[in-house]
Amino acid sequence: MSYKHTVLWNVDNLKEGESASPAIIEAGLCINRGEAVAFPTETVYGLGADAANDKAVDEIFAAKGRPGDNPLIVHIGKLEQWQDLASYVPDMAQKLATSFWPGPLTLVVPKKQTVSEKVTAGLSSVAVRMPDHAVARALINAAGVPVAAPSANRSGRPSPTKAEHVQYDLDGRIAGILNGGDAGYGLESTVVDCTGEKAVILRPGGITKEQIESVLGVNQVQQTSTIREEEAPKAPGMKYRHYAPSSPLVLVDDHMENYIEKERQAGKKVGVLAVEENKNTFQPLAHLFISLGSVENLEDIAAHLYHNLRIADQSDVDIILCETFLKRGIGTAIMNRLEKAASGS
């Protein structure tokens, strides 16, 4: 569906527990009508539609240009809504929900037969989370239904952390955008598969492996982020190229100066994404330098990663070189997004 105008509702400063504003009520009515609405969460902006309405779910896939075998995460506003989606809740899922909900954690559990196969991509499981954002939960409660919501961007592009990012990608393709200010974590939620004997981290995010292990035990947690080509992904971000700028993105572990020189000698305009501590070294060599933030504050680097990728993407550089990070704590999630963005470059 195309729209002559995508409505932008400003809902900054909504406090937890406050009554939904007229804008949120209107956005909830749009979801009830089977339309797709973008909204802020504490991770990134999501593109939401009624998870029980197949035509509404189709609106999400059409707006994003998203592959149909890529499952969606269902967002709930109240804990009891979980029972409408899961055939049963494994003990490990209950422990994680108790520890981290509301928050940036998605739990994959066995689904009820009533859950749309368009949401689950035909799988026997469903991915569920409760966002830690007053606007998000107010919208879900105003809609009165669980809300299926991937990130609110064109498929494969860097995820949106600002309403303006959503507008740039999806204006005219969706009913409206709830502008609730900048997202917090800046990276999508951690996804944990709770359908087996052990918890399996399918996608790293704001809740780290170490935090999950502190609840379940070190021997009860595994991590994977890749699958075979013929497999259906259980969670978003596993199978396809994601988070990518248009220009090729190359990850550089060391000797950045040599890479810059090589690309410049090939006649290319070079953009560099690196930590603030390396600015004085790399900025004089590159056509464009973008500071990712201080290496001492990886949480801040994560929060602004997609915004910085979009800045690089909207420049005139031919290639983007980006520093890498240790895969520890939130660094694991940062590297997961960068590796997906560089895939196929």
User: Each residue of 182-197: pLDDT tens digit?
Assistant: 998 999 999 999 999 9
pLDDT digits (tens, 9 = 90+) for 276-317: 999 999 999 999 999 999 999 999 999 999 999 999 989 999
Mean per-residue pLDDT of the chain: 91
Judged against a pLDDT cut of 70, whether residue 178 lies above it is answered with yes
Q: Which residues are annotated as a binding site?
A: 43, 66, 70, 75, 129, 149, 151, 159, 189, 203, 243
Q: Which residues are annotated as a binding site for L-threonine?
A: 43, 75, 129, 149, 189
Confidence of residue 343 (pLDDT cuts 50, 70, 90): confident
pLDDT digits (tens, 9 = 90+) for 38-64: 999 999 999 999 999 999 999 999 999
pLDDT at residue 58, rounded to an integer: 94
Confidence of residue 19 (pLDDT cuts 50, 70, 90): low
Identify the helix (H) or strand (E) that includes residue 265. helix 256-265
pTM, two decimals, is: 0.91
Confidence of residue 156 (pLDDT cuts 50, 70, 90): confident
| Domain annotation for the chain: domains and CATH numbers | 7-223 (3.90.870.10), 249-342 (3.40.50.11030)
Beta partners for residue 250, in sequence order: 321
pLDDT at residue 5, rounded to an integer: 84
Judged against a pLDDT cut of 90, whether residue 83 lies above it is answered with no
Judged against a pLDDT cut of 60, whether residue 232 lies above it is answered with no
pLDDT digits (tens, 9 = 90+) for 108-122: 999 998 888 999 988
Mean pLDDT of 89-93: 97
320, 289 Cβ separation under 8 angstroms? no
Q: Which residues are annotated as a binding site for ATP?
A: 66, 70, 151, 159, 203, 243
* Pairwise CA distance, residues 35 & 250, whole Å: 38
pLDDT at residue 345, rounded to an integer: 46
**Cis amide linkage into residue 102, ω under 30° from 0:** yes
* SS3 category, 11: coil
Mean pLDDT of 245-271: 95
